[in-house]
Structures are given as C-alpha cells and as structure tokens.
Amino acid sequence: MNKAMLTFLVTIATLAALPTSARSQEAPEASLVGSWRLTAVYDQFTDGRRRDTWGNSPQGMLQFAANGLFTAAIMAGDRAPRAGTVPSDPVGPAFAYYGTYEVNTSAKTFTFHVQQSTWPQWNGATLNRTITELTSRSLKVVAAPIRDPQGGEFQPHLEFERIP
C-alpha cells in the first residue's frame, strides 16, 4: 500500500470516528435516515390550547430508509387488551402508514407520498411536514394546519429521538 492510499484511509477512518457535530453539516435527507422513537405528539390550537389526542405516553416509530422509503406508526400508550379481538382488528387508537418520501433542504420540509395507511383516507395522499428541529438525536416536525369543526384550527406536533 502506498503512502497516499494509507493517508486517505487514515483520513476517512478519522472522519468516521468524529461525532456528528464535529463533521461538516449533513444534508437533512442524510440526517433523517434511520429510526426514530416518538417522544411526544400533540395538537396545538391557534388560540394556544394544547390537546393530547393520543393520551398519556403515546408510543410510535418513524423510519426513513436511504432509498426513499418510510414507515410510521403511532399508538396510544394506555390501550387495554380487549377480549375477542384479532391482530387484523386493532384495539385503537392505533395508526400506521408507509410509502416514499422526499426532502426539500432549503424549505426544511419533507413530503410523504403515502402508499397505504390504516386510515384509508390517506391511501395515495401527499403529506407535507415542516422540520422545526433536526439534530443527530432529535427530530421535531409540524404538520399543515387542520380545521377541527368543534375546536378550531390546530397543527399536529410530533417529536422523536433517534434510536441508536
């Protein structure tokens, strides 16, 4: 092995060993890739009210693959077993969907193209999300405003931590 090749390999190994904050800023699509555990999900109304639609201790996961595929699932954390049910008839609230995604780095957004969802209204839907925080450990996003006939306009907020 010549000296130039050895220098190159040592440089690559050194860069790989550095913490993410010491490396040059990653593109958001590279930073999104991986598995994320849901830590919080809530609806924020324009009048300041907050609603925890998924109850106490919601559970969930969001996964972004490098090839542009994603999968997401959210479940209320306090769901009790119910006799006479089968896995194909979930005891709610539970929600899952998957498909492809795109990232717009300049707008700090990503777009889901939903292929299939447990809520059929989202099958084939395009959903935009705004990234409010993205670090090596944390991802926070907000969805587009939704109009609730009883409560007014709100934005869903989702917060995740990276699964190492």
Cα distance between residue 80 and residue 83, in whole Å: 10
Q: Which of 134, 125, 130 is nearest to 157 (CA)?
A: 130
Per the structure block, which two tokens stand in for 16? Answer: 């790989």
pTM of the model: 0.77
Each residue's pLDDT expressed in tens, for the chain with a length of 164 residues:
444 333 333 333 333 333 333 333 445 555 899 999 999 999 999 999 999 989 889 999 999 999 999 999 999 988 888 888 888 877 878 999 999 999 998 999 999 999 999 999 999 999 999 999 999 999 999 999 999 888 789 999 999 999 98
What are the phi and psi torsion angles at 151 (to 5°)? -105, -15
Residue with tokens 């598995």: 35
Contacts of 148 (CB under 8 A, 6+ apart): 43, 154
- Say if CB 59 and CB 77 are below 8 A apart: yes
Residue 82, pLDDT score:
85
